[in-house]
């Protein structure tokens, strides 16, 4: 009986140690939403831009990339082959400048939210063939987060 209690005590000690030192918080860590896509920082080829049906030239892509004033994370294709561009560490003025440039390129004034969304704290703009999200505060949902200042544009 003493032998079984000793082994049970050792097992409990090992489990507690494993969970505390190694363990469970690895499963509970939030992941940056930007880590869900494979971002590239180089300018995509014209073929990639043509294949996404976004209607952009490489020069327009670079104009949009520079419109947010730095912090360019990169571009990626989502699971639907839509072009996604992302920036980090941006401010509201960068978001507004980015949307202004998109308005100019697409010759259409985007519909912009003037207040942050109650659910996720984002400012949004919707144009013809694209949307823009600016996270004014850190947002967390379903194990993923977006840092304050994250800006995302998706073209379809």
What does the pLDDT look like over 92-129, one tens digit per residue?
999 999 999 999 999 999 999 999 998 888 999 999 99
Cβ neighbours of residue 153 under 8 Å, at least 6 residues apart? 64, 84, 85, 86, 98, 102, 130, 131, 132
Please say if the pLDDT value at position 14 is more than 80: no
- pLDDT at residue number 88: 97
Confidence (pTM): 0.80
């Amino acid at each position: 009986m003493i032998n079984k209690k000793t082994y049970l005590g050792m097992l409990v000690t090992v489990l507690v140690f494993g969970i505390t030192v190694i363990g469970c918080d690895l499963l509970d860590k939030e992941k940056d939403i930007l880590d869900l896509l494979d971002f590239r920082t180089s300018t995509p080829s014209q073929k990639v831009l043509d294949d996404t049906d976004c209607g952009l030239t490489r020069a327009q892509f670079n104009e949009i990339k520079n419109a947010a004033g730095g912090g360019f994370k990169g571009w990626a294709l989502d699971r639907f082959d839509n072009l996604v561009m992302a920036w980090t560490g941006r401010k509201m003025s960068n978001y507004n400048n980015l949307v202004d440039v998109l308005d100019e390129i697409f010759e259409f004034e985007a519909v912009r939210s003037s207040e942050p969304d109650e659910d996720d704290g984002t400012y949004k703009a919707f144009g013809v063939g694209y949307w823009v999200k600016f996270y004014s505060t850190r947002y967390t949902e379903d194990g993923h987060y977006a840092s304050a200042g994250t800006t995302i544009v998706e073209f379809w």
